[in-house]
Structure 1
Amino acid sequence: MLKKSVLLLKSQKDEGANDKYEDLLKSNGFKVCQVKTLIFDFKNIDWLKDKLLNSEKYAGIVFSSPRCVQAVCLAIEDNREVMDNWQAKYNYVVGEATYSEALEKTGLRCKGKEAGNAANLAKIILQCKDQLEKPLLFPHGNLKTDTLKNELGKEGVDIEGVLVYETIPNPGIEAEIKRATNDFSNIQEYIVFFSPSGVYSSLKFLKDIKDFSNAKLIAIGPVTENAMLDEKLNIFGVTKNPTPQDVLDLILQG
């Protein structure tokens, strides 16, 4: 067991970008290893661009992940002022990471950074339901659930989805886990799962590692927690919000 060490099982990060989870944990004395569980294939960018150019048709936009923000940036890369037309609209995000990405990359100050999942975001959006006379534009990935659409639909709020990326299991995950665990011989004290897909794609390689059963497993949010419970895993803790500070707090409490 690699004491005071953390294995982050995350989707791929932006090239050249620092990882906030890794930075915070390292600054608090933890050794951190990161394995990409998922990679992303962007698509329908021209279709998204057309919708962004026709902002008058929408009440606002919903970003459910940093990848959705990235897709918008790809769509408007030669015409960034397009987002000026969205500034005064009802714009939303799920979580702090997506909020920061949207603010930095598009200039939009969105509501919902305290929402850790789609159900919570729906409640926030519905606070303004009387003003949402037009659809909300919803760029999304292929693994989205229907929670947001269903919850808003019950109250007559329309949401117009466009598939902008597909999430694909990292074909090199076995090699990355092998490197992170010293050829499958030693496991980190803490393992953080960020998504159900990450659970399913990594578990078959982790289960046979010595001391895996003694590792402290952390879930980012209730959806990931449910996937871990389905796999009969003992969960050390579940973050209330998908933030680096929540992960650190869980570890320090233990």
Structure 2
Amino acid sequence: MTTTQQPPTGTAPAPTTPPSPMDRSTRRLIVTIGSVLAVLIVLALAVPALSRLLESTERTSHALPADLTSLTVDSNVGDIEVRAVGPGEVPGAVATVRSGLAAAEADVVTTGASATLSDTCRNRWWENCSVQWEVLVPADAAVTVDSAVGDITVVDLAGTLSVNSSVGSLTATGLRSDSVTARSSVGDVTLDLVTAPSQVRASSSTGDLTVTVPADETTYLVTATTSVGDVRNGVGSDNASTRTIDVRTSVGDITLRRS
């Protein structure tokens, strides 16, 4: 008997094609990118370290007019202290300049009874520089301070005062100024007045605000606002007063008190 073999009814799986090997140009590209990234990482770590190794500090003194009536400080990076002259002292400025790969510079320009202090310190990520100012002025001199990065301290002044810092705290104590303006984008503001001012304005985007006025019968028209934080007003508010205290912060607490 003859047997007829039937063809298989199933379908055989198609043969798989092995993946093609990576071509040379792709491999070269990957190696090149990896090498560049490795070099960048090494530079990012090495250059700041080198800047710290090369860091130098120079301290210079500058005379200011004895009859100084106006001082302006324009600072890039560094702390600033402005203080009224005491017995036996004369107006002057001391700049402490710290330089790394790039040199920081401090400049003092006087015109008549006015003086302007400024500094240059770009302070990029690969650099390490700052200029710190210590300044003595007559108590009744008008003082304006503008700082990009750094704390500002003011002591015992009686003239018109305006201080501004993008990043840094502002602290003024022993003030006898009639008009005070203090602004910080990021940082606390603390003002301590020992005589009653006509006008106080203080603000911060992120930071606490504290204003202290004398414990006398002087009244003030007070505006105190914060978006996120508490307001503690121990001074009160008199709508009929011509003296004003205006304090505002977006994120932070506000404290108004009498000494």
TM range (shorter): under 0.3
Compare relative contact order (CA 8 Å, sep 6+) and give the higher one, 1 or 2.
1
- Report the TM-score when normalising by structure 1: 0.22
| More helix as a share of residues | 1
- Report the TM-score when normalising by structure 2: 0.21
| More strand as a share of residues | 2
